[in-house]
């Protein structure tokens, strides 16, 4: 195998594509699809989303200092794509996609999307101007999950959410579990039990 050297690009794949909902005192709730998002810290819990200045949502994020990251399952995929090709400048994307706004207790303006499996309510801590994109560093101040995704022990079972991955322009389902954190060193009986649970 031999590598061919290419012009550097931000080719990190696969990534989640999420729907970021936002609103401000002046602007009705809007949704922007974001693939360049990331977990950046667990204590305090923080995520980043990177947004081009020319996006309609950019000024809403700047004005309000808050946003909601909504995870996307297969049932929301079409809406997620739509929110990534249409602008809130021209239309109400909640209405156009038949999505429902849900009040988030921890935030003033931005609603969560009721149809999504899980949301992270964020307050912006910093905005970094990187070049083509500005990075909004959000502290997660609230989180909500659909009740049916909780198992009998109150643990989140994201297998049921049918989350979608985004890889170089293509949306893909996740497929069966191939392993779990630490599976390479797990005892054989643990490995067998967990894999059965994960793929039941
Ligand atoms: C899968 C996908 C991922 C996207 N990721 C980003 C992103 O990370 N940052 C960004 O600024 N725009 C991204 N976009 C483009 C915006 O979602 C798109 O320009 C949208 O129409 C902006 O909406 P707004 O004008 O209402 O803010 C993405 C679009 C799609 C379809």
Identify the band that residue 100 occupies on the pLDDT scale cut at 50, 70 and 90: very high
Q: What pLDDT does residue 69 have?
A: 99
Q: What pLDDT does residue 200 have?
A: 87
Question: What's the rounded mean pLDDT across residues 34-60?
Answer: 98
In a domain, 90, yes or no: yes
Q: Which atom of ligand 1 is nearest to the CA of 52?
A: 11
| pLDDT tens-digit readout, 107-162 | 999 999 999 999 999 999 999 999 999 999 999 999 999 999 999 999 999 999 99
Q: What pLDDT does residue 87 have?
A: 98
Question: What's the rounded mean pLDDT across residues 54-63?
Answer: 98
Residue 185 CA, ligand 1 centroid: distance in Å: 40
Question: What's the rounded mean pLDDT across residues 95-108?
Answer: 98
CA-derived radius of gyration, the chain:
18
Total domains present in the chain: 1
Q: What pLDDT does residue 8 have?
A: 96
Range of the domain at 69: 15-175
Report the nearest-CA residue for atom 13 of ligand 1.
34
In a domain, 62, yes or no: yes
In a domain, 187, yes or no: no
Report the nearest-CA residue for atom 17 of ligand 1.
84
Q: What is the DSSP pairing of strand 170-173 with strand 164-167?
A: antiparallel
Q: Which atom of ligand 1 is nearest to the CA of 58?
A: 27
Q: Give me the percent of the chain exceeding a pLDDT of 70.
A: 100
Identify the band that residue 70 occupies on the pLDDT scale cut at 50, 70 and 90: very high
Give the CATH number of the domain where residue 140 resides. Answer: 2.30.110.10
Q: What pLDDT does residue 140 have?
A: 98
Report the nearest-CA residue for atom 15 of ligand 1.
84
Identify the band that residue 33 occupies on the pLDDT scale cut at 50, 70 and 90: very high
In a domain, 38, yes or no: yes
Report the nearest-CA residue for atom 16 of ligand 1.
84
Residue 88 CA, ligand 1 centroid: distance in Å: 11
In a domain, 73, yes or no: yes
CA-based torsion, 149, 136, 13, 114: positive or negative: positive
Q: pTM for this structure?
A: 0.98
Q: What is the DSSP pairing of strand 133-145 with strand 164-167?
A: unpaired
Count the neighbouring beta carbons within 10 Å of the beta carbon of residue 175.
Answer: 8
In a domain, 7, yes or no: no
Q: What pLDDT does residue 195 have?
A: 97
Report the nearest-CA residue for atom 18 of ligand 1.
84
In a domain, 36, yes or no: yes
In a domain, 191, yes or no: no
Please provide the average confidence, as pLDDT, over all residues in the chain.
97
Which protein residues are within 6 Å of ligand 1, measured from CB?
17, 30, 32-36, 50-52, 55-57, 81, 84-89, 133, 166
Q: Which atom of ligand 1 is nearest to the CA of 93?
A: 26
Q: Which two tokens stand for residue 166?
A: 């985004």
Residue 42 CA, ligand 1 centroid: distance in Å: 26
- The secondary structure of 39-69 as a DSSP string is EEEETTEEEEEEEETTSHHHHHHHHHSEEEE
């Amino acid at each position: 195998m031999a590598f061919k050297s290419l012009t550097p690009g931000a080719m990190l794949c696969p990534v989640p594509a999420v729907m970021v909902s936002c609103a401000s005192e002046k602007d009705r709730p809007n949704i922007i699809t974001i693939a360049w998002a990331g977990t950046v810290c667990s204590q305090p819990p923080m995520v980043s989303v990177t947004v081009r200045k020319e996006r309609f949502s950019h000024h809403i994020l700047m004005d309000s200092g808050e946003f909601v990251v909504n995870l996307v399952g297969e049932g929301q995929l079409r809406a997620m794509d739509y929110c990534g090709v249409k602008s809130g400048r021209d239309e109400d994307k909640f209405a156009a996609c038949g999505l429902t706004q849900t009040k988030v207790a921890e935030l003033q303006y931005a609603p969560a999307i009721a149809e999504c499996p899980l949301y992270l309510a964020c307050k912006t801590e910093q905005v970094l101007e990187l070049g083509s994109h500005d990075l909004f560093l959000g502290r997660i101040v609230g989180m909500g999950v659909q009740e049916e995704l909780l198992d009998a022990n109150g643990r989140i079972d994201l297998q049921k959410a049918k989350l979608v991955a985004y890889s170089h322009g293509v949306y893909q389902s996740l497929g069966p579990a191939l392993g779990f954190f630490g599976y390479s060193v797990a005892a054989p009986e643990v490995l067998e039990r967990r894999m059965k649970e994960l793929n039941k």
